[in-house]
Amino acid sequence: MWDALTDQQKPGIRVASAGIRKVWLDGVREASLDRSTSQIGADKAWESGYDGTGVKIAVLDTGVDKTHDDLKTQVVAEKNFSRSPDAVDRVGHGTHVASIAAGTGAKSGGTYKGVAPGAKVISGKVLDDEGFGSDSDIIAGMEWAAAEGADVVNLSLGSPDGPDVDPLEETVDRLTAEKGVLFAVAAGNDGRFGASSLSSPGSADAALTVGAVDKDDVLASFSGSGPRAGDGAVKPDVTAPGVDIAAAAAPGSLIDTDPDTPHPAPGYLQIDGTSMATPHVAGAAALLKQKNPGWKSAELKGALSGSATPGTATVFQQGTGRVQVDKALGQSVVAEQVSQNFGTASWPHADDKPVTRKVTYRNLGTTAVTLDLSMSVVDPAGKPAPAGFFTLGASKVTVPAGGTAGVDLVADTRIGDTDGAFAGYVTATGGGQSVRTTVVAVREVESYDLTLRTIDRDGTDAEYFYNFLVGVKGLAAGFSARVDFAPGSHTIRVPKGSYALDTGVYQDPSDLTAGTDWIAQPELEISGDTTVTPDARTAKPVDITVPGVEKAASAELSYMHSETDAGGVGSGWYLSGLTGFRTAHVGPAITDGSLTQFWSAYFLKDATTQYAVAFGGPTNTLGTGYTRQVKANELATLKVGLGASVAGKSAGVSMIPVMPDGAAGEGFWPTQTAPGVRTVHVSTADGVKWNTAVAQLGEPDEWGLPAIEGNQAMAQPKRYEAGRTYQETFNTGVIGPVLSKDTGVFRTAPHTKSGRELIVGALPLLGDGAGHQGDGPYTSATTTLYRDGVKVAENDDPLRGAKPFTVDSADAAYRLTTSVERPATVAATSTRIDTSFSFRSKQVAETTALPVSMVGFAPPVDLSSRAPAGLPVVVPVTVQGSAAGSNLKSLAVSVSYDGGKTWKATPVLNGTILVKSPAKDAGIALSAEVTDKQGNASKVTIQNAWLGK
């Protein structure tokens, strides 16, 4: 799997591959395309007669709605490369992008006209109906677009960048060189993560990479930034408006139908992202191409980046600045190097050699131009670089008509005592124009060579292994590297600081039981050139046993180091047993209490008996091997009742350990017939608590996996005492809603962008009689919201929170009702559940739980939710939510034996009701109405609450 998900950087060193791409789409705000086009000077270009006529822009995206009035004359070719069945835009992203680049604005009378309305669009659907696509699909679309004669290709898509050249980056660079096509590519929307948050393929050398600014040319918080991974190069190249953009909507698409998407006019929607900035640049390139038909990618990129208007952001955030197409149209001089990257000078710097690069200017005009040259460079802290760090070879250069002229630029990284990236601009001014070129040189922080050699069990170089290195303190924090599956020594350059090194050595990667060694070094200090030799021979076996069972069926092992500059750092394994598995701790002891370890194992004794044990807590060193022979007197016993009201079912039971330090297992899901009882023996040492979860299972699906017909789980884990036996019962009556502090009905604050306010029902309707919350399938579900007695809306969400209701901010009386029915093949009880919640609500400042209540019933039924027919039954009644405890005003319970046709009130005395159990195979219906002291009322009605036997 690691091979499938990564690319090889060099023998033995791998990084995450691009794999799957996705559209870059951020939030939504009020917007205006007419304003953004004038912001980049497109209106002035139109006045000069340039609208992109004769130019083809390829939009490789989710498709384009060619029936939209703004685009029906624009799309001249389309093809589907995605896994979706056709080229229709069901997301709405590609339509919006195409409209920004080349929409005519016909539907809005020209108000929402794109940057190049005279250009034509080639639509390649490379992202599917959910907005995702593979590298191969996108590459096929890129090849097709170039073959179709596209002059400009818009790629408003991406995925995280790595240090190597990935397939999409290679294709951008290759097609640019072969065809002269300009690729305008989004920088991505991961700017919130700070430096080096650029996306691929915007990281390609040849790409004109686009960040986003708002209407005031302030960098958007989401805009991806450099430096580029691997070499520290400047990206993005330019910015463009990407906040508050309105453009064409694809009717019925995902974005169009999102309730939080503003629609400034019929047929238009408003969203933001670098996806929206990029087509502004693609359109601008089309305007330039119309004026200069012979220009290719180099000239277009050079003119657009060189003439950009600088903002207040850093070089790595904005490149040369915000595109200004009216100035670009006047450019006759361009820099052949949009950016000059001097690379990284290795630490220490006293012996660094000055590096010389040449900035070359090309004059595309008919008159020689003399340029005045200047520089502006800052250090990593944003202060002016020390004198002499960068030096221009001349202060003026004359570029002959139709020719080139260059000037030397020298970077001397010996100067100064600050390490990191020094970046800025060379600005050439003359002939009524200005050309900006970005420059960057990096003084490596204090760093050293780390050599890794991994040794197998027989003392030879391991063939199947991984080493994963994570920086946790000092200059190392945030650094990571992986070395795997290449025998021998591997040297990597790493910053000074503390690391965690995790090593796995396999005898057979496809069979961990053939022999696997986990060598963990939670603290590795690098303060000089260092050699580390993870050695499988240092590992010792892990041996956990329980009475009467030799081999574990499943196991989980992990550790966590909590006190690091990178937060909690750890590692772990999920195993199908412990056969052949060994562990070793390497490195110094960690004595400040921040290191914890976790060991768990699950055993099957027979068809209805299992063991679950877990141990761990704070430690100074991780286990080099681990032996735990659990004795019977260390265990607690759980008799877990597995309810099922329909015969012939099976159920899965998972025991999930939770340690005092927060470490928790994933659990293990053995199955047995249901209804039935499962015996579970659990460990009690080290303060472990256990959370039990149960799932009723149905027939297997096409992949052989059983359908989940219902599930219940504890709300909180429980602590058990050794030597004691406990009873836990799941999925028995009365199945109904269960309220908790995390579930109920909620009111949200106004959405920060759309202002929308919501009432959300998020209440599990299939909790069991023991109070475990639960859910399952329904044959029907209807949820309705009323405001002051008037129906607001209705949907089919069974209070799972998936379909909230939009409400206004005024104070009003609301009633939320839900009715669900369950399939007879799944359950014979609680076949229909109706709830109603009445409350007042108005605008809130933050998400607030509304005052709703619920009533639960816990009759003494068997595991099939049946009780002896005709006999009196005492049923405990509990009130949950707002009306619980001293806030209860009234509680009324009624019963019905004819499916709810007639009801009889029954008093609640000392928290119970006394009713007669129904006839054999017949059901009883229960209804409860509860009101709190503030007047908020709730009601629940449950058909076939239990059956007679």
Q: Which helix or strand (DSSP H or E) is residue 97 part of? A: helix 93-102
Non-local CB neighbours of 668 within 8 Å, separated by 6+ positions: 553, 554, 602, 610, 612, 654, 655
DSSP string, 339-355: EEEEEEEPSP-TTPPPE
**Known active-site residue 742:** no
Burial call 147-162: b when 16+ CB within 10 Å, e when fewer: eeebbbbbbbbbbbbb
**Known active-site residue 82:** no
Distance of alpha carbon 903 from alpha carbon 738, whole angstroms: 24
Q: Distances in Å between the alpha carbon of 881 and those of 547, 598, 932, 934?
A: 44, 36, 9, 13
Active-site residue, selected from the candidate residues 108, 134, 275, 865: 275
**Known active-site residue 339:** no
Non-local CB neighbours of 549 within 8 Å, separated by 6+ positions: 603, 604, 605, 611
Asked if 308 contacts 427 with a C-beta cutoff of 8 angstroms, the reply is no
DSSP string, 187-229: --S-GGG-TT--EESTTSSS-EEEEEE-TTSPBPTT----SPT
The alpha carbon of 703 is separated from its chain's Cα centroid by a whole number of angstroms, namely 27
Ramachandran sector of residue 801 (left: φ over 0; alpha: ψ -120 to 50; beta: rest): left
Non-local CB neighbours of 594 within 8 Å, separated by 6+ positions: 561, 562, 563, 564
Strands 595-606 and 420-430: unpaired
Distance of alpha carbon 926 from alpha carbon 602, whole angstroms: 41
Active-site residue, selected from the candidate residues 93, 96, 561, 585: 93
Q: Distances in Å between the alpha carbon of 244 and those of 26, 263, 431, 606, 616?
A: 11, 12, 36, 63, 52
Asked if 292 contacts 301 with a C-beta cutoff of 8 angstroms, the reply is no
The alpha carbon of 697 is separated from its chain's Cα centroid by a whole number of angstroms, namely 30
Judging by beta carbons within 10 Å of its beta carbon (0-12, 13-18, 19+), is residue 904 exposed, middle or buried? exposed
Q: Which helix or strand (DSSP H or E) is residue 146 part of? A: helix 135-147
Active-site residue, selected from the candidate residues 26, 51, 61, 89: 61
Distance of alpha carbon 737 from alpha carbon 576, whole angstroms: 37
Residue type (1 letter), 323: V
Asked if 216 contacts 229 with a C-beta cutoff of 8 angstroms, the reply is no
Non-local CB neighbours of 390 within 8 Å, separated by 6+ positions: 375, 377, 409, 410, 411, 412, 422, 424, 439, 441
Non-local CB neighbours of 874 within 8 Å, separated by 6+ positions: 860, 912, 913, 914
Question: What size, in residues, is the chain?
Answer: 949
Non-local CB neighbours of 149 within 8 Å, separated by 6+ positions: 56
Q: Would you name the residues annotated as active-site residues?
A: 61, 93, 275
